Amino acid sequence: MPLAEVEQYITENHHLPEVPSEAEVKENGLDLGEFNATLLLKIEELTLYIIEQDKRIKQLENQK
């Protein structure tokens, strides 16, 4: 998901996509195994965003 879409989702829903809201956790509890898998997915997404940002930064530095 592009970062602009993630930002819009967070603005509208006050939590990350695919991550339960505080209200959902309070109401339904939390399956720790499932939640750990979700957190690993989010770490992977963040890593991919960082890699993309690093490429853009290097490209901009090379344009100088």
Mean pLDDT by 10 residues, the chain (64 residues): 93 95 94 96 95 96 88
pLDDT at position 64 is 73
- Mapping DSSP onto H, E and C, the string for the chain reads CCHHHHHHHHHHHCCCCCCCCHHHHHHHCCCHHHHHHHHHHHHHHHHHHHHHHHHHHHHHHHCC
User: Is this model's pTM higher than 0.85 or not?
Assistant: no
Q: What's the pLDDT score for residue 54?
A: 97
Distance of CA 30 to the CA centre of its chain: 19
The dihedral region occupied by 14, where left means phi > 0, alpha psi between -120 and 50, and beta the remainder, is left
- For 25, the token pair is 């956790």
